[in-house]
Homo-oligomer: A and B are copies of this chain.
Amino acid sequence: MNIGIDMMGGDFAPRAVVLGVSLVSHELPADVHLTLIGDENAVKEIFVSEGIDYSKYRFVHTTEVIEMGEQPSKAFTKKPNSSIARGFSLLKTGEIDGFTSAGNTGAMLAGAMFTVKPIPGILRPSIPVVLPRFNYPKPFVLLDVGLNPDAKPEVLYQYGILGKVFAQKMLQILDPKVALLNIGSEPEKGNIVAKATYDLMKNSQDFSFIGNFEGYDLFDNPEADVIVCDGFVGNIIIKLTESIFSISGKCGIQNNFFDQFNYEVYGGTPILGINTTVFIGHGVSSPLAIKNTIQHTCDMVNAHLPETFNEIFK
């Protein structure tokens, strides 16, 4: 297996990425090879200054960087020799099996949509996060957390399938229960989209639907393994939990539950529903977060999600 890593992506790149690569290298199986994509000299200099041997990595030299503030799809087209654009070229030619970057999220999405392409039958890909539940060992999957802020009922229905497969393959939950995030437990509650989605989900043969979940169910109700919402609501929730973690830290609170709101635990989010493995790291990624995104990218490649989705949606 070969994983491509954008060495130039993230607020603290390339140093944080070099350190993350070094951290994860000790833990990866021997058959996992890392391809480091970025400014080769700059990256090697950091390896040297950190006293880390880089001889086992393959380097792909790039001369451009898509900055965090750049207009994503334009930047992707205009900078073919950027680390993100090269990563997607390598994915397309099969030279790497998975690609991860903590760089410009929009450019990563543009690459996923236009270079890799969604799986036929999937209306819209989605980005999920794995979140903890209070007093319950298994985490749950929340999706979408930002890819589709205007998701239609049919799209949300498919997110039930994407989430179910992700929970099965990545969290080892045999028969994941799917809930719809809503503002009341009754079927008639919610906005227009939520009501229509409930109607689609209620008799689903594609997943086990257990009904509506409310805001207080999210972290404190172990009944659902997958919670579906649109990317607008999901993005606000995920950023809110990051803020709770940050405030909790500033207050000096040490608590196992709140500590799991730390973005570093998962490090980012994969793109579900495309024909390969792409993992988007958090912009402020630390070496630990980078390490975890690389580990999760390997796990995703091993889980063969695109094959499963192609089978389901064919």
Contacts and interface: CB of A to CB of B under 8 A. Distances in A.
A134 B247 contact: yes
Contacts of A216: 239-240, 242-243, 246
A1 interface: no
B232 A214 contact: no
Q: Which of A215, A217, A239 has the most CB of B within 10 A?
A: A215
A150 B246 CA distance: 31
A41 interface: no
A219 B231 contact: no
Contact of A215 (B214, B231, B239, B257): B239
Contact of A243 (B215, B236, B243): B215
Interface in A181-236: 181, 183, 190-192, 194, 214-220, 230-233, 235-236
A183 B215 contact: no
Given A191-B232, A251-B257, A237 B220 contact: no
A55 interface: no
A243 B257 contact: no
A3 to B, nearest CB: 29
Contacts of A218: 240, 243
A121 interface: no
Interface string A243-267: 1101100110101010000000000
User: What's the interface size class on A, roughly?
Assistant: 35 or more
B190 A214 contact: no
Contacts of A60: none
Nearest to A230: B191
B232 A233 contact: yes
Contact of A253 (B190, B219, B239, B255): B255
A154 to B, nearest CB: 17
Contacts of A247: 134, 219-220, 257
Given A220-B243, A253-B253, A253-B255, A190 B232 contact: yes
A215 B190 CA distance: 21
Nearest to A188: B71
Contacts of A232: 183, 190-191, 194, 233
Contacts of A242: 215-216
Contacts of A231: 183, 191
A120 interface: no
A146 interface: yes
Contacts of A235: 183, 214-215
A238 interface: yes
Given A218-B240, A242-B216, A243-B216, A191 B251 contact: no
6 closest A-B pairs by beta carbon, nearest first, are: A215-B239, A149-B191, A216-B243, A215-B240, A183-B235, A215-B236
24 contacts: A134-B250, A135-B250, A146-B183, A149-B190, A150-B192, A190-B232, A191-B232, A214-B239, A215-B236, A215-B237, A215-B238, A215-B239, A215-B240, A215-B241, A216-B239, A216-B242, A218-B243, A219-B240, A219-B244, A220-B247, A233-B236, A240-B240, A247-B257, A251-B255
